[in-house]
Structure 1
Amino acid sequence: MLKRSLVLLFMGIFALSCGVSKDIRDQRNLLSGTWTLDDVRFENNTGMFKAVVFNDADAICFEGSNWFFRDNNSTGRYTIKEGSLCEGGDRFIRWSVIKNPADYTSQLQFKFIDDKRKDISGGLGYRLNITELTEGEMTLKSNVTVNSKPVTVVYEFSKQ
């Protein structure tokens, strides 16, 4: 009887440890929905930058883009408006919120998928630090290197 109770106790602890933390669930719920990327800017370095973001388009093309996150199946998309510098259209993604093991901060990670939810990026993806996430605003940051100097790309969103 004691052996059976111990086995059930360990199975319960194991099941709870494999689940997503309440903090991550709360962030996923806040993230779910439609967002507008209002501003892309660069910190920690001076000068003008022309950057291709997510190996997709110039940073200026992302301003005004719409992002949709569906939390029940971790899929979504972002839509870039057509313009003289920008190839418009939808880009489909699979996303998740994780804890960065180095400093326990939250990160949004995503990779590109096709309209049938199949990976088209060869397993490669992107991670952005979540520095602010409320019901109406989100700020994501990504640290990159330009000419051997650190630059932080800042993405500021508002919820629709």
Structure 2
Amino acid sequence: MKKSIVFFGVVALLISSCSVSKVAREKRNLLSGTWILEDVSYENNTGNFSSILFNDAKDICFEGSNWFFRDNNSTGRYTIAPSSLCNGGDRYIRWSVVDREENYTSQLQFKFIDEKNKDIDGGLGYRLNIDYLTATEMTLKSNNQVDGEQVTIVYKFTKK
């Protein structure tokens, strides 16, 4: 009898700790679908910046890229158009929305997977702060250090 109570207590704890909050669920639903990354810009510092984003391609390659988020299995992809500066093609991802503590913003996190949904970077992933999200527009931000100074990369999307 005691073993059953302990077992069900542990199962209930696991289920409650793995559940997605209402806020995260709402943001997942809003994210679901196809988005166009319209603009990549930098704030909180002066000067001209160029960077390799997500250890993949130059920032300019991401402008105009298509991002698809499937919420029923947390997979998706982004597609970069080929050019002389950009290695085009699909990059497959597994994604989720992470709720941060009350005074913090939610985050979109993702990691790279292959066409068969297998992890390809040993669990390495990325988190972007969800600064603004509606049914048609989204702004994500990531804070980075450049020569000891903080630079925020801003990603502005529109829904297709």
Is the counterpart of residue 132 in structure 1 residue 141 in structure 2?
no
**Residue 27 of structure 1 aligns to a residue in which SS?**
helix
The answer to whether the 8 A contact 2:132-2:140 is kept is yes
Once the two structures are superposed, what CA deviation does each residue of 1:3-61 show, in whole Å capped at 9, x if it has no partner?
A: xxx99xx7897445542111110000000000000000000011111100000000000
TM-score between the two structures when normalised by the length of structure 1: 0.89
User: Which residue does 1:91 correspond to in 2?
Assistant: 91
Q: Which amino acid aligns with 2:61?
A: C
Gaps of 5+ in 2: none
**Residue 85 of structure 2 aligns to a residue in which SS?**
coil
Equivalents in 2 of 1:115, 1:13: separation in Å? Answer: 34
Q: Which amino acid aligns with 2:46?
A: T
Shift in Å at residue 116 of structure 1?
A: 0.5
User: Which residue does 2:71 correspond to in 1?
Assistant: 71
Shift in Å at residue 100 of structure 1?
A: 2.5
User: Which residue does 1:114 correspond to in 2?
Assistant: 114
Equivalents in 2 of 1:70, 1:145: separation in Å? Answer: 31
The answer to whether the 8 A contact 2:113-2:119 is kept is yes
% identical equivalent positions: 66
TM-score between the two structures when normalised by the length of structure 2: 0.89
Gaps of 5+ in 1: 1-5
Equivalents in 2 of 1:11, 1:145: separation in Å? Answer: 42
Equivalents in 2 of 1:13, 1:79: separation in Å? Answer: 40
Number of equivalences: 155
Is the counterpart of residue 28 in structure 1 residue 20 in structure 2?
no
The answer to whether the 8 A contact 2:131-2:140 is kept is yes
**Residue 126 of structure 1 aligns to a residue in which SS?**
strand
Q: Which deviates more from structure 2 when the two are superposed, residues 30-39 or residues 15-24?
A: 15-24
Q: CA RMSD in A?
A: 2.1
**Residue 64 of structure 2 aligns to a residue in which SS?**
coil
CA, structure 1 residues 71+45, in 2 after alignment: closer, same or farther (shift >3 Å)? same
User: Which residue does 1:3 correspond to in 2?
Assistant: none
Once the two structures are superposed, what CA deviation does each residue of 1:43-95 show, in whole Å capped at 9, x if it has no partner?
A: 00111111000000000000000000000000000000011101100000000
Q: Which amino acid aligns with 1:127?
A: R
